[in-house]
A = this chain, B = another copy of it.
Amino acid sequence: MTDKNSNIEELFMKLNADNAPGQESRQKNNELKLIGDKIEGEYVDFSHGDVDAHKPIPGVLDHYIDGFNTGGSQAYTEYRGQAELLKETAEKLGSFTGTHISPEDELIITPGTQGALFLALGATVTFGDKVAIVEPDYFANRKLVHFFRGEVVPVQMDYLNHDDKAGIDLSELEQAFKNGVKVFLFSNPNNPSGAIYSSEEINQIAELVSKYGVTVIADELYSRQLFDNREYTHLIAHPGVDRNKIITIIGPSKTESLSGFRLGAGFGSSEIIDRMEQLQAIVSLRASGYSQAALKSWFSEPEGWMAERIESHQAIRDDLVTLFRDAGYKVRLTEAGSYVFPQAQNLSIDDVQIAKILREQANVAVTPGTEFAPYCTDSFRLNFSQDHGKAVDAVKRIIKVLENYKNG
C-alpha cells in the first residue's frame, strides 16, 4: 500500500534485494535446521544463465573492439543511443515484431533490459498510480512500482493448469482497469513460468487496454527463444493498440548471452521514449558507449546459431521437467525462455528456506517463489541455461535433498 509519509528507511525495507538472484553470497545462513547430509556435486547457479556453457554470439568482442577503436563518437553517444545503431536496431526489432519503428523517435538503448524496465516505469508511474502486475511475474516489477510510489494491483495467472495459453485472469484484469489502473506491466513469455500468452489472450489484452486507455509495458525479453515451434504474438503489432500507450522492452542478455555488456532496448510510444531519455540523462547518461557497438551482433547471429541454441535448451528443459514431474512436483513445460518454476508438494519448509537449504546441501542457487508472487511459497525458479549434464545432476540433488523436508 502507498504511504505518502513513508520515509527513506521504510521505502527501502520493501526493496530488500537479499533474496534476489545473484545476491546469494550476501545472505547469512545462521538459522537453518538442516536434515540429512550435504550431497556433493559441482555447483550450479540456477539464478541466472551460464554464459560459459552457452557462450555469447560469436564475433561480438570484435564489434566491441571496433567500437572502442572508433573513439569519442562511440564513447559519447546521445543518451538514447548512437544514431547509426539506433537505425540498425530499429530495423531489426521492427522486422522481428512486425511493426515499423522510427529510429529517431521510437527507440532507446538502455543499460540492460532491467534499465529499460526501470526507465519505462519511471516514465509512466508516479505517486498513487495503480499498476496491474501479473502473479507470478518478474520479481523487480512489484519493487519498481513500490519505488515509484505506485500501487500494485495483482492479477492472477493460472500458470500450472494450461498449456495452450498463459492463463491470465482476463476478467480480473478488466476489473482492475475499471478500478482505475493506469499502467499494465507484464512479461511475455512469462517469467518465471515460461508460459506464452496465446494470440487470443493478446487480442483481448489489446481490446481491454484500448477500451480503458491503459498504458502497457510489455517485457518481451525472452521472446526469441521459443520451443516446440510455438507461435508468439507481439502486442505492439496488434492493430487495436494505441501506439502512444505502449512500450515494448527487450534485450540481448538472455538468449544471446550478452548480459556482460548491459544492453537493452525500449521501443514504442515516442512520448514515453522521450521521457525515458530524460530520465536516462540523470540515471546513468547512456548505455556504455563501447558496449552499444556489441548490438551489431544482435539479430545478426551466424546461420543456424539461434536454432542450435533453442534446440540445446529444449533438450535441457525436457530432462529437468521430466525429473521434477517424476518426483511429484507440479511444473509447467517451459514454452519459451529458460526458466522452470517447479512447485514442491507437502514440504515443511517455505521457499526462502528451500533456497537456503539447497545452497547448503545441494550446492545450487535457486530463486525463491515469493520473489514472483506472494502466494508461491512452495515454488522456486531455475534458469536452465546451464551445462546440460551439470544441470541434470544438480536437479537430482535438489530432489533428493528436499525429500528430507517432506511433511509427515
Verify A15–B282 contact, CB threshold 8 A. yes
Interface residue tally for chain A (C-beta within 8 Å): 69
Residue A289 at the chain B interface, CB threshold 8 Å = yes
- Which residue on chain B has the smallest CB distance to residue A15? B278
Copies of this chain in the oligomer: 2
Question: With a CB–CB cut-off of 8 A, which chain B residues contact A50?
Answer: 72
Interchain nearest-CB distance for A86 vs B (Å): 12
Q: Which residues of chain A (277-332) have a CB below 8 Å from chain B?
A: 277-279, 281-291
* Cβ contact of A259, chosen from B26, B76, B260, B283, cutoff 8 A: B76
Residue A35 at the chain B interface, CB threshold 8 Å = no
Verify B281–A140 contact, CB threshold 8 A. yes
Residue A16 at the chain B interface, CB threshold 8 Å = yes
Question: With a CB–CB cut-off of 8 A, which chain B residues contact A112?
Answer: 284-285
Residue A337 at the chain B interface, CB threshold 8 Å = no
Interchain nearest-CB distance for A79 vs B (Å): 7
Verify A261–B288 contact, CB threshold 8 A. yes
Residue A177 at the chain B interface, CB threshold 8 Å = no
Verify A79–B22 contact, CB threshold 8 A. yes
Verify B68–A48 contact, CB threshold 8 A. no
Verify A262–B4 contact, CB threshold 8 A. no
Verify A281–B20 contact, CB threshold 8 A. yes
Verify A144–B282 contact, CB threshold 8 A. yes
Q: Given A68-B260, A72-B50, are A283 and B115 neighbors across the interface (CB < 8 Å)?
A: yes
* Cβ contact of A283, chosen from B118, B129, B278, B288, cutoff 8 A: B118
Verify B72–A52 contact, CB threshold 8 A. yes
Among A114, A147, A279, A281, max chain B CB count under 10 A is at A281
A79 to B76, CA, bound (A): 24
Contact flags (1/0) for A64-108 with B, using CB distance below 8 Å? 110110011011101100000000000000000000000000000
Known: A260-B290, A261-B290. 4 other contacts (CB 8 A): A4-B127, A8-B124, A76-B260, A143-B281
Q: Can you give 20 contacting A-B residue pairs, CB < 8 Å?
A: A4-B127, A5-B127, A6-B127, A7-B126, A8-B124, A8-B126, A8-B129, A12-B123, A15-B278, A17-B282, A48-B76, A110-B284, A112-B285, A114-B282, A127-B127, A140-B282, A143-B281, A147-B279, A262-B285, A290-B291
**A interface vs B, CB < 8 Å?**
4-8, 11-12, 15-17, 20, 22-23, 25-26, 45, 48, 50-52, 55, 61, 64-65, 67-68, 71-72, 74-76, 78-79, 110-112, 114-115, 118, 123-127, 129, 140, 143-144, 147, 149, 259-262, 275, 277-279, 281-291
